Amino acid sequence: MARITAGIATSHIPAVGAAIDNGKTADPYWAPVFAGYDFARAFEREEKPDVVILVYNDHASAFDMTFIPTFAIGCAEEFAPADEGWGPRPVPVVKGHPDLAWHIAQSLILDEFDMTIINAMDVDHGLTVPMSLMFGQPEAWPVRVVPLAVNVVTYPPPSGNRCWQLGEAIARAVESFEEDLNVQIWGTGGMSHQLQGPRAGLINKPWDTAFLDALTADPEMLRHKPHIDYLREAGSEGIELVMWLIMRGALGPSVRELHRFYHVPASNTAVGHIVLRPAPEQATSP
Least separation in angstroms between residue 50's CB and another protein is 32
Residue placing its CB nearer to another protein in the complex, 121 or 275? 121
Q: Is 259 a catalytic residue?
A: no
Candidate list 193, 224, 227, 263, residue with the active-site label:
193
Q: Return the DSSP state at 70.
A: S
Instruction: Evaluate whether 17 touches 129 at the Cβ level (below 8 Å).
Output: yes
Would you tell me which residues interact with another protein (CB under 8 A)?
A: 14-15, 18, 59-61, 64-66, 82-87, 153-156, 159, 161-162, 192, 194-205, 207, 224, 227-228, 231-233, 236-237, 264-265, 267-268, 270
Query: Could you tell me which residues come within 8 angstroms of residue 8 by beta carbon, excluding any fewer than 6 positions away?
Result: 40, 130, 134, 184, 185, 186, 187, 247, 273, 274, 275, 276
Q: Is 273 a catalytic residue?
A: no
Query: Could you tell me which residues come within 8 angstroms of residue 213 by beta carbon, excluding any fewer than 6 positions away?
Result: none
Candidate list 125, 224, 227, 273, residue with the active-site label:
125
Least separation in angstroms between residue 267's CB and another protein is 5
Residue placing its CB nearer to another protein in the complex, 198 or 280? 198
Least separation in angstroms between residue 233's CB and another protein is 6
Least separation in angstroms between residue 44's CB and another protein is 27
Q: Beta strand 144-150 with 51-56: parallel, antiparallel or unpaired?
A: parallel
- Cis preceding linkage at 221, omega within 30: no
Spell out the SS3 assignment of 139-200.
CCCCCEEEEEEECCCCCCCCCHHHHHHHHHHHHHHHHCCCCCCEEEEEEECCCCCCCCCCCC
CA distance 134 to 144: 13
Residue placing its CB nearer to another protein in the complex, 209 or 236? 236
Residue placing its CB nearer to another protein in the complex, 77 or 83? 83
Which residues form the catalytic set?
125, 193
